[in-house]
Amino acid sequence: MLARTINEGSTIVMKAINNNNPKQVKRALACAPRGKRATWTLNITVGTQSISPLIWSIESGATEAARVIIHDLLTIRADRDRYYFGVNELFERHPDIMQVLSEGAPTLLPTLLDGLIWRCRTTVAGQRRVNCYLKHLLVAHGGFADASFWLAKLQDPALIIHPLLVSLTDLVWSRLVHRTFLVSKIWLLFTTMVFLLSQSILKNMSNGRTPTETERYAGMLCRAFVYLCSMCELIYSRTKHICLAIKAPGGIVLMGSVPVPRKYLEDWREVVSVLLTIVLIAMFVQEPILFCLQTGFSDGEIFTQGCSEALALLVNNNNQH
């Protein structure tokens, strides 16, 4: 079916692409009306099948022809009625174009990024007006676009300092990310301090004596905060990631015979979060305050950690180690 589509839909653009001849591609596109140039380079339909000359040129290795097509799509033209700029048609036809180029033809990414910048020919007071078309690199299908992910995955320092990407990252950081990032890090630091306070500082304040009622209440509140606000949040986020991985195609991979979310293999921070969740759950299951609740209420020492049940649990754990 693909061969039939290529043969029957062989236009002058496709013939030029098969020859990988930039001059032939330019001459072929020069025959297209302004309003049809994007269609000639993005969609050829034969019956119910359609192929994209741009994607075909990338997949067939005709990178020079693909470079001419991208440059032609991102050239602003005009007539007496309107302007023509193929950026919307390009990203509507190929919303994954950044992924396609990153995996198949990374040398074409600078051409694409350059085409998304318009520079005025004239200067005013020594300054030149510049328009950056960031929409399709920032949002897609009502959510965040994954363009930044694929660009970062290339790990190309020369590409990542492109003026368009600098503007994109500055915009995202200043308008959206920096506040969320700072709040998350402050929250992490705060929960860490509460954890240290409950597990180490308050525990060693008594210096061998029986903890006072204030110390017992403070220890209980700190540990309740850690379990409710940290452990529960980690359980929720890990469960959410697993559910999303199950729904996403290819989100689950087999590690031996154990199904594991792909994200856990690609991001070490996810593995650390899973281990932290397991440790907090284990701590909660063996929490001395829970074992001493009944004894504490009967003896009048609420939230104590020195009851016989807790000491027996500590002895058993030491014997196991």
Per-residue pLDDT of 95-115, as tens digits, reads 899 999 999 899 999 999 999
Of 110, 69, 68, 60, nearest to 93 by C-alpha is: 69
Across 22-30, average pLDDT = 88
Average pLDDT on 183-211 reads 83
Residue type, 239: T
Distance of alpha carbon 245 from alpha carbon 257, whole angstroms:
17
Span of 20-29, 89-98, 129-138, 202-211 with lowest mean pLDDT: 202-211
What pLDDT was estimated at residue 260?
Answer: 87
* 255-296 residue pLDDT tens: 888 888 888 888 888 889 999 999 999 888 888 878 777 665
Provide the percentage of residues in the chain whose pLDDT is more than 90. Answer: 26
Give me the mean pLDDT over the 138-147 stretch: 85
| Cα–Cα distance for residue pair 169/147, rounded to 1 Å | 11
Token couple for 52: 């994209």
Distances (CA, A) of 10 to 56, 139, 235, 282: 12, 34, 55, 65
Residue 149 clears pLDDT 50, i.e. is over it: yes
Instruction: Pull the structure tokens for residue 308.
Output: 């016989």
Of all residues in the chain, what percent carry a pLDDT higher than 70? 88
**pLDDT tens string 27-55:** 888 888 888 888 888 887 766 677 888 98
Q: Report d(CA 235, CA 242) in Å as an integer.
A: 11
pLDDT value of position 317: 58
Is 80 exceeded by the pLDDT of residue 314?
Answer: no
